[in-house]
Amino acid sequence: MTKEFDFLVIGSGLAGLSYALRVAEHGKVCVVSKSRIDETNTAMAQGGIAGVLYEESDIDNHIKDTLDCGAGLCNKETVKIVVTEAKKQLEQLIAWGAEFDKTPEGAYDLAREGGHSANRILHHKDSSGWEIERALIAQARKHPNIEIQENYFALEIITQHHLGEYINRQHNDIECYGAFIFNEQTGETHKYLSKITYMATGGACNIYQTTTNPPIATGDGVAMVYRAKGTVADMEFVQFHPTSLYNPGEKPSFLISEAVRGFGAILRDANGKSFMEKYDERGSLAPRDITARAIDKEMKNQGVDHVYLDCTHLDYEAFIKHFPNISNKCKSLGIDITKQFIPVVPAAHFLCGGIKVDKFGRSSIHNLYAGGEAACTGLHGANRLASNSLLEAVVFSARSADDSIKRIGRIDLKQNVPDWNDEGTTFPEEMVLITQNWKEMQQIMSYYVGIVRSDLRLKRALYRLDIIYRETEELYKKTTVSRPLCELRNAINVAYLIIKWAEERRKNVGLHYNIDQL
């Protein structure tokens, strides 16, 4: 079956839905979500969305904080674009129905998080991402030009390769004509042709054993674009959130928001001593790369599985008002935050690299844009400043939408694209072939390519991953497609890219720390 659209959006988080809403007045839009439309990294975001709403003098400070956090590797033009366009796009989110907490006087109650020099973060208690997702879903569902398809999985983007044409990667002449989409309910793969495709598939941190990401974060968009010979960048920079709740066996790991430290919570070691002052003058409000490495070192030095977050000195009534979900979660585990410390441990959280895009979100593949965590805009550099990710997603989706609207009238749907070919494939004999390789890949990445790396660990990781890669590719060639198999294949591709980029980075910076390097 062939379906035709003006715009194909792969992913249903903030980037994908806000892009869809903006272009929907200019053509037929299809939003494809591989699970439920609300199962996204956006919906899991607790802290909020950064941006200067009131004090224009703070714009320069927000730019400086972002550049400082990015350890000198941010694209300065991109940082200026995102920070200066923040107010306009935050107002658009509010116009779409997103509600953020206000003070008794009626102004927005702005929070502060690690790495920020001022209070500039809009939030909805401790479920800010969910509130944004709720508002966007409501708008998208009622728009007549937007078709939403849940439980549809994008297998590959369609390029000249599928037409049997030669692609010269060096000449940058690759074009995207849509994507092959797998219907999980029927087991059929359909051809979705589009004039413009927007890749917004989110992150990839399920390649690690411990992560705050939902299970859907398997790097699908990055892997698809890489296989299509598109350009990716900065893949070595994987951000570990310093404070996920230590609760072995729970997946995804429950996030203790950065805003809790912004509220005044203090990190303490196994003996109850505050330790962050040894690593950074900002103490518990240091950026995530510094904080996560500090916690990792303290845990290794003391031979423990976690450290603690101390909230006992904080105003309890104000705390539960700001962080009701965190309060309830701790209470459900028997943790009295007025008397007991919260056990926390770093967890894989955010991929700073991804599909390389320009200042309009255009990838190296013609007619293919990318946004959100799947994209690398240059905003984050070597380390993302807290709450800048949602801001990046909404600002760049607007820029991509504006550029797409200007170009859509000059693009024709590609004809004569062949159907998906799965001739000769059979159903996989045993699911364990997929699940076991998943576990092995996660172990490899967690033990060898985590917060602290070494040349030997990276070498071992690549060697062991290659075995899993070859086994998975052989299985993929001979069996019918399934979401678990394709997610594994995508995750292995992304894991490989992270290892290779980490090997090539010969100087420690930001989130990349190799004990064999300077």
128-141 helix and 14-23 helix, angle to the nearest 10 degrees: 30
Q: Are residues 305 and 203 part of one domain?
A: no
45 vs 127: CA distance, rounded Å: 7
pLDDT in tens, 136-156: 999 999 999 999 999 999 999
**One domain, residues 382 and 486:** no
Report if residue 509 sits inside a domain. Answer: no
For residue 393, is it within any domain? yes
Number of domains present in the structure of the chain: 3
pLDDT at 167 over 70: no
- Asked if residue 386 and residue 319 are part of one domain, the reply reads no
**35 within some domain:** yes
Cβ distance 367 to 7 under 8 Å? no
Secondary structure class of 95 (helix, strand, coil): helix
Q: Is residue 70 part of a domain?
A: yes
**Could you tell me if 380 and 352 are in contact, meaning their C-beta atoms sit under 8 angstroms apart?**
yes
pLDDT tens-digit readout, 197-255: 999 999 999 999 999 999 999 999 999 999 999 999 999 999 999 999 999 989 999 99
Positive/negative CA dihedral, 473, 475, 477, 479: negative
Within-domain flag for 512: no
pLDDT for 171 equals 55
| Together in a domain, 116 and 228 | yes
Distance of alpha carbon 182 from alpha carbon 176, whole angstroms: 18
Q: Give the end of a domain, one of 346, 379, 400.
A: 346
The verdict on 380 and 299 lying in the same domain is no
Asked whether residue 26 falls in the same domain as residue 129, the answer is yes
Kindly write down the DSSP assignment for every residue of 453-495, as one continuous string: B-HHHHHHHHHHHHHHHHHHHHHHHHB---HHHHHHHHHHHHH
Q: Assess if residue 167 is contained within a domain.
A: yes
The rounded percent of the chain whose pLDDT value lies above 70 is: 98
pLDDT at 246: 97
Averaged pLDDT for residues 79-94? 97
Q: Is residue 513 part of a domain?
A: no
Catalytic annotation present for 410: no
- State whether 147 and 250 are in the same domain: no
Sign of CA dihedral 181, 183, 184, 189: negative
Question: What residue numbers bound the domain in which 124 lies?
Answer: 2-236+352-410
Q: Are 288 and 320 in contact (CB under 8 A)?
A: no
Select from 291, 323, 346 the last residue of a domain.
Answer: 346
pLDDT value at residue 360: 98
Answer yes or no: is 425 within a domain: no
**pLDDT tens digits for 287-344?**
889 999 999 999 999 999 999 999 999 999 999 999 999 999 999 999 999 999 999 9
pLDDT of 433 above 90: no
The three-point CA angle 335-341-347 to 5° equals: 90
Domain match, 261 and 309 both: yes
Domain end among 346, 368, 396: 346
pLDDT, the chain, mean: 94
What pLDDT sits at residue 429? 65
The pLDDT value given to residue 455: 97
Task: Assess whether 150 and 213 both reside in one domain.
Answer: yes
Give yes or no for residue 518 having a pLDDT over 80: no
Residues 361-413: tens digit of each pLDDT:
999 999 999 999 999 999 999 999 999 999 999 999 999 999 999 999 999 99
Max distance between CA atoms of the chain, in angstroms, equals: 68
Residues 27 and 143 in one domain: yes
CATH number of the domain enclosing 450: 1.20.58.100
What is the pLDDT confidence band of residue 457, given thresholds at 50, 70 and 90? very high
Please say if the pLDDT value at position 126 is more than 70.
yes
Q: Is the pLDDT of residue 166 over 80?
A: no
In terms of domains, do 228 and 361 share one? yes
Which residues are bridge partners to 150 per DSSP? 33
Report the alpha-carbon distance of residue 158 to residue 391 in Å, rounded. 30
Give the domain CATH number at 286. 3.90.700.10
List 288, 293, 362, 489, catalytic entry: 288
**Whether residue 230 sits in one domain with residue 95:** yes
Q: Give the 3-state secondary structure of 194-205.
A: EEEEEECCCCCH
- Find the mean pLDDT for residues 158-184: 83
Per-residue pLDDT, 52: 95
CA dist., res. 175 & res. 193, Å (int) = 12
